[in-house]
Amino acid sequence: MLQPIRLISEAAELAARRHNGMARKGRGNEPYINHLAEVANLLATATDGADAELVAAGWLHDTVEDTDTTREELATKFSERVAALVVEVTDDMSLPKLQRRQKQIEDAPHKSPGAKMIKIADKISNTCARIVPNPSGDAREDLAAYVIWAEKVVAGCRSVNPMLDARFDEAVKAAKSVFEGK
């Protein structure tokens, strides 16, 4: 197995290469890699840097879903645990969006602690990215719908890490102040 710093840096490099040219929703179409960096950093902070495999999985959490990366490739290049965590948080993209979202809500309580942490970090990042100055009516509606759904997913993931729970609550509070006009 790779040394912790190499594991994380190689995961970041693979994530950057595989997501090259992709932009994320919100925040003016910033590079998608910013989302992956934010999720990985939340996980590093939540574990006080003690879980390199979890941080690596944070970098890679969307690679199987969004690119041609395979579970086998991740297991070979990183570790079985990294691959398992990534696959555990990967949506089945053959399902319609509403079905995928409902499945995330239903599956959340049954995830491993590491997968729950990735899910919460992902929802923090995505919620914060949707909070923009002077949002249009459509942006407010998107933010409101996203937060309502994210709260349901995170409800099934809570209590694995108090810091992530608190950061999610802060993100939701900030989002609600935008779409409720407070």
Catalytic residue numbers? Answer: 65-66
8 A C-beta contact, residue 61 and residue 118: yes
151 neighbors 117 (Cβ within 8 angstroms) = no
Would you call 168 exposed, middle or buried from its count of C-beta atoms within 10 A (0-12, 13-18, 19+)? buried
Torsion angle (degrees, nearest 10) of CA 113, 116, 122, 128: -110
Minimal CA–CA distance to 152: which of 121, 91, 108? 108
- Helix axes 97-107 and 137-155, enclosed angle (nearest 10): 30
